[in-house]
Amino acid sequence: MVSKSGGFVRRPLHTLMGLLLAALAALPALSTAAPTAMRPLVVEPGTTQAAAFDTIFQKVVGPASLDATRVAYDADLERLRALLPKGDRLRQARLRSVYCGSSTWKDPVRGLAYSDQALELARELRDVESEARAILCRAGYIMLTRGAQHGQPEIDKAIALLSDTQHQQLLAESLEMRGDAQSLLGEQAKAMLDFQRARAAYRAAGINHEVEPLMLSIAVAYRRIGDFQQAERYFTQAVERMQDRQDWESVGTNLIQLGFLHSESRAPEKARAAFEQAIEIGGNHDDPYSVSAALMGLAEIQITLGDPVAALGTLGQARAGFAAEHDDSNEDMLLMLTGEAFASQNRHADALTRYQQAFPLIQRNGNDRYLAQLYRDRAASNEALGRILPALEDFKRYNELQMKLQGKMRLEQSRLLEYEYEIRRRDFENRQLRTDAQANQRQVTALERIRRWQTLSLVLAGLFAALLGLLAWRQWKKSRRLRSQAMTDSLTSVASRGGIEQELDQAIVHASGAGTPLSLLMLDLDYFKSINDRYGHATGDRVLRDVSTAWQAQLRGRDPLGRIGGEEFVVVCQDTSLEQALLVAARLREALHALCFDDVDTSLQVTVSIGAASYKQGDTREDLLASADAALYRAKQAGRDRIET
C-alpha cells in the first residue's frame, strides 16, 4: 500500500516483503488447489512435473524475481501452484513459503493464517529457507493489521535465522524489508544501515547490478530525512528508466513519490502534475491501486490549493478504488484528509468527527508525523468552534510532538553521517585487507620458489635469505606507514577520528593523574553543505584543507587538531583552563574569518560554530565529547558563528 508519506511503496512482488510494500488483491483458498480460471498447464516433453516445478521455483526466488513485474511474478506463482506434485510435502512447504506473498491475497487475517500453516510445515521439515520466507510473510501481515512496529520482531527472527546460511539473496531481502519498516517509523539512520547491508548481501549472492526496489527504498529514506535533492534525482531518473522498460507500475510508483516530495518541499503545482501523470498512466495500464494512491495525494494538494470541494470528490474516488481492491490500509489518511477538506469549508464539527475516527488508526500505525498533523488539525477545528481548552490541549500535544520529531530528525541526520563515514571506513579497510592478502599470497609464492632453489648452493640460500629479510623490512615499513595513515586524515593531514581520540585519552590520563586542567573545543563549519552544493565537492575539499592549515598555524604544538567527520573538528587543549580555551577558540574563529577564496567567489565566507568544555575529575572521553557537542549545539541554535560553553 502507499501512504501519504510513502510508507508503503508499490513495487513488483519479487520477495515476501511484497506483503508490506504492495496492495493486497483477490483472495485464494487456504489450500494449494489451482483456480478454476487458470489455463491448462503444459509440461515440456521429457520434463517431469517435479523438475518443471523446481525450474519455476528457482525463477520465483532467484535473481530474475528482482526485476519481475507484479503481473509476471503472480503468473509464475500460479504456474508453480499448478505444478506441485501430489504428496510431495517438501515442495508443498516451498510453495506455501512463496505463495503466502502472492498479491492474490485480499484478507490479511486469512493471509496470516495461511502464513502460520506455511511456517508450521517448514519447521516440521526443517527447511530453513522456507521457514524464513514464512516468517517474513507473517511479518508483512502483522504490519498490515497491527502496525509496522509490531512486525519488526518477526523480521529480526528471519534475519537471525539466515545470518549463518548461504541464502544471501533472501537475507538481503529481509534486511531491505526491515529497513523499510524502520524508515516508516522514522529510524532513517538504522534503515540506511540495513539498506547498505542488503546491498552487500546482494553482492555476496552474485547480484552485481543495483536492485531497483532497494534503490527506491533508499531514495524514500532520503526524502523522509529532508534530502529532497538526492531523492528527486533518483525518482526522476527511475521514471525514465522504467519508461524505457515499459514497467508502468514502477513508473507510477516513482511519480507518486515525486508527488509526495514536491508536496513536502512546498511545490504544490509540481506535486499536482506528478499525481495527475501517475493517475493517467495507472488508468492507461490497468493499475487501479496506483490510481487510488495518486488520487489520495492529489486530494491533499487540492486542499492545499484551496479547492476542498474538488478534494472531497477526489477522496471519494480514492476510497472507492481502495474498496474495490478490498484494501482499508489507507483509511487513516482518507479520514484525516476528509476532515481537512471539511475544515476548509468551515464544517468543523464534521471535521472533528473524521479526526476522531482517524485517531485510533494513526495511533495503531505508530507514525508520529501523522499524529502531529492530526493534533494540529483538531486544534484548529476546536478553536474555530470556540472550544478553547480542547484546542489548547491539542496544540500543546502538537507542539511537543513537533519538537520531538525535529530533534529526532537532527539526530537521524547526525547518525546517518556517522553510518556513512563508518561504511566508507570499512570499505577502505576491506580493500586494504584484500591488498594485504594479495601481497601475502605473493610472498608465500616467492618463499615456495626460494625453497625449491635453496638446494642449489649455500650462496644462493644466503642471497634468498637476504631477499626475504629485505621483503620483511619493506613489509615492516609498510605496516608502520599504514598505522600512521590510519591516525591521519587523508584530506586535511590533521589527526583522524581515531588519532584525535587517542590524543584525548592520553590527555585525560595526564590531567587525572597530575591534577592539571584540560579543555576540549568542538568546531563545526556553518552551512558547509551549501558550499558543496553550490561550488562542488572539489571546492569543499579545498576549504577543509585551507581551514585546517589556518587553524594549525594558530595552535601550540601540544594542542592537537583532529577531524572527526565531514566538516566537524576537535582541538584537545592540554594544561588549559576553560577561560584559556575560549581565547584559543576566539583565535581559531578569527583565523577563519581572515580566509578568503576570491578565486572561487569573492562572496564566499566561511564561519564556524564552536563548543567548549572542560574536564572534570572522573570524566570519560565520551563525557567530555558529549559536553562539547552540547555546547556546539547551543552555538548553532543561538545563530551560528559563535562560541558557547
What is the full DSSP assignment across 418-435?
HHHHHHHHHHHHHHHHHH
Q: Give the residue-averaged pLDDT of 441-449.
A: 76
pLDDT at 127 over 90: yes
- Closest CA relative to residue 423, chosen from 626, 637, 200: 200
If you average pLDDT over each of 349-358, 400-409, 427-436, which comes out highest?
349-358
Nearest-CA neighbor of 531 among 595, 600, 611?
Answer: 600
Within 8 A by CB and 6+ apart from 552, the residues are 494, 561
Mean pLDDT of 282-296: 91
Single pTM value for the model = 0.57
Residue 470 pLDDT greater than 80, yes or no: no
Residues 6+ apart with CB under 8 A from 85: 49, 50, 53, 91
CA 206 – CA 383 distance, rounded (Å): 60
Evaluated on CA atoms 535, 554, 571, 592, the torsion sign reads: negative
Q: Whole-angstrom Cα distance, residue 16 to residue 106?
A: 15
Amino acid at 145: T
Beta bridge partners of 524: 568, 609
Q: How far apart are CA 519 and CA 559, in angstroms?
A: 10
Per the model's pLDDT, the better-predicted residue between 626 and 19 turns out to be 626
| pLDDT on residue 45 | 52
Q: How far apart are CA 608 and CA 637, in angstroms?
A: 13
| Residues whose CB falls within 8 Å of the CB of residue 522, separated by 6 or more in sequence, listed in order | 568, 569, 570, 610, 611, 612, 613, 625, 628, 629, 631, 632
For residue 42, what pLDDT band results from cuts at 50, 70 and 90?
very low
Nearest to 384 by CA among 416, 348, 409: 348
User: Tell me: the pLDDT tens digits for 389-416?
Assistant: 998 999 899 888 888 777 766 666 666 6
Can you tell me the mean pLDDT for 65-72? Answer: 83
Long-range contacts of 499-502 (CB under 8 A, 24+ apart): 499/560, 499/562, 500/560, 500/561, 500/562, 500/563, 500/564, 500/570, 500/572, 501/562, 501/621
Residue 250 clears pLDDT 50, i.e. is over it: yes
Triad 578, 582, 587: Cα angle to 5°: 150
Position of cell 468527527?
A: 353
The predicted-structure confidence for 201-220, as pLDDT tens digits, reads as follows 999 999 988 888 899 998 99
Beta bridge partners of 614: 519
Note the pLDDT of residue 40: 41
Report residue 318: phi and psi, to 5°: -65, -45
pLDDT value, residue 521: 96
Residue 105 scores a pLDDT above 70: yes
The C-alpha cell of 219 is what? 531514495
Q: What is the CA radius of gyration of the chain?
A: 30
Instruction: Give the model's pLDDT for residue 2.
Output: 38
Mean pLDDT of the chain: 84
| CB-based contact 560:506 (threshold 8 Å) | no
Q: Give me 588's grid cell.
A: 581559531
- Please enumerate in sequence order all residues whose Cβ is within 8 A of that of 74, keeping only pairs 6 or more positions apart, or say none: 13, 102, 103, 104
Provide the grid cell at 354: 473524521
Give the residue-averaged pLDDT of 80-105. 91
pLDDT tens digits for range 481-517: 655 566 889 899 899 999 999 999 999 999 999 989 9
pLDDT tier, 461 (very low <50, low <70, confident <90, very high otherwise): low
Q: What is the mean pLDDT of residues 419-447?
A: 67
521 beta partners: 571, 612
Are 30 and 107 a contacting pair, CB within 8 Å? no
SS3 content of the chain, % helix, strand, coil (to 5): 70, 5, 25
Three-state SS at 86: coil
Query: For residue 34, is pLDDT > 60?
Result: no
At residue 314, φ and ψ (nearest 5 deg) are -65, -40
Sheet holding 518-525, edge to edge: 561-565, 568-574, 518-525, 608-614, 643-644
Sign of the Cα torsion 27, 29, 30, 31 reads: negative
Half-sphere exposure of residue 244: CA atoms within 13 angstroms, side-chain side: 5
In the prediction, which pLDDT does 613 show?
96
Q: Which helix (H) or strand (E) holds 521?
A: strand 518-525
- With 60 as the cut, is the pLDDT of residue 455 above it? yes
Q: What whole-number percentage of the chain has pLDDT above 90?
A: 53
Of residues 185 and 4, which shows the higher confidence score?
185
Return the pLDDT at 184: 84
**Highest mean pLDDT, choosing among 151-155, 368-372, 458-462:** 151-155
The answer to whether residue 1 scores a pLDDT higher than 50 is: no
pLDDT at 26 over 70: no
Alpha-carbon separation of residue 283 from 235, 286, 573 (angstroms): 20, 6, 66
Q: For residues 256 and 299, what is the distance between their CA atoms, to the nearest angstrom?
A: 13
Residue pair 262/297 in contact by the 8 Å Cβ criterion? no
SS (H, E, C) 260-310: HHHHHCCCHHHHHHHHHHHHHHHHHCCCHHHHHHHHHHHHHHHHHCCCHHH
Q: What is the pLDDT of residues 572-630, one digit of tens each?
A: 999 999 999 999 999 999 999 999 988 888 888 999 999 999 999 999 999 999 999 99
Q: Is the pLDDT of residue 534 over 60?
A: yes
Element (H, E) at 564: strand 561-565
